[in-house]
Amino acid sequence: MWSTFLTNLFGIILGITLTFGVNALWQKHEENKNMKEMLTLIRNELEVNKKMFEDQKEILQSHVYYYNKILEINKKWETIPEDSIDNYLDLASVYLPKFQTHAWQIFQNSEVSKRLSS
């Protein structure tokens, strides 16, 4: 009777231990998978933002070039060429898009981020 009881008790304890162990491993695996997905999203977002930044930098450099050209001509009291004014006005009206932060915001609000901070 005791041997059957101890065998069943051992089987139950072993089953519970295995269940919790496998569950912990699975959660760790899912957390790592989510972390990799989040980091991939953030990396992609940063690459897009880098490209937008480079485009904006190029636009602003052109803007500065034409603005300086207009100032230089103005100091000499010469007539400002129409193409310089047109280029400057075209550049001044260019819409500069905002950088993307969706993936970063999702990451900051995620359980993974909360665990990292603790």
Q: Please write the tens of the pLDDT for every residue from 50-96.
A: 888 888 888 778 777 777 777 777 666 666 566 666 666 665 565 66
24 part of a folded domain: no
Other C-beta atoms within 10 Å of 9: how many? 10
Predicted local distance difference test score (pLDDT) of residue 25: 95
Residue pLDDT, tens place only, 12-51: 999 999 999 999 999 999 988 888 888 888 888 888 888 8
Predicted local distance difference test score (pLDDT) of residue 43: 85
Q: Which structural domain range is residue 56 located in?
A: 36-117
110 part of a folded domain: yes
Residue pLDDT, tens place only, 95-109: 666 766 777 777 767
∠ Cα 70 58 55 (to 5°)? 145
| Tokens found for residue 68 | 């300086």
Predicted local distance difference test score (pLDDT) of residue 29: 93
∠ Cα 81 84 89 (to 5°)? 130
How many folded domains does the chain comprise?
1
Predicted local distance difference test score (pLDDT) of residue 44: 86
- Please tell me the distance from the alpha carbon of residue 94 to that of residue 24, in angstroms, as a whole number: 53
| Sequence-ordered list of residues with C-beta below 8 angstroms from that of 100, at least 6 positions apart, any chain | 45, 48, 49, 52
Place of tokens 């690459």: 47
